[in-house]
Amino acid sequence: MTDTQAPDGATYLDLHVHSTDGSDDAGGTVEGYLKWVQAKRKQGYRIDGFAVTEHRRYEPDLDYSELAARYDAVVLRGVEMETDIG
């Protein structure tokens, strides 16, 4: 979504990315995703950040706040849960 389409006060996040820090099927690092966000913004897209949701694990010691601040982006941390129903 470009800035001209974004409603006032809206936040745009990709809520499901994996990083090479914690998922074996990831395509990049957290900083790599932040660079992608920065590049998309320069192209006129509205993206505020993303949620890192690794497979079946949550690492409380991983802190992306300094990286997020450096790129002026939101980085949320979560986990992709595995259940008996999918």
71 lies in some domain:
yes
CATH number of the domain enclosing 33: 3.20.20.140
Residues sharing a CB contact under 8 Å with residue 44, sequence separation 6 or more, in sequence order: 2, 3
pLDDT (tens digit per residue) in 35-62 = 999 999 999 999 999 988 877 777 777 8
Q: Count the domains in the chain.
A: 1
Residue 86 lies in a domain: no
Task: Report yes or no on 85 lying in a domain.
Answer: no
pLDDT digits (tens, 9 = 90+) for 5-45: 667 778 888 888 877 666 666 678 889 999 999 999 999 99
Q: Which domain holds residue 38?
A: 3-80
pLDDT digits (tens, 9 = 90+) for 66-75: 999 999 999 9
Does 52 map to a domain? yes
Closest CA to 37 of 64, 14, 63: 14
pLDDT of residue 60: 73
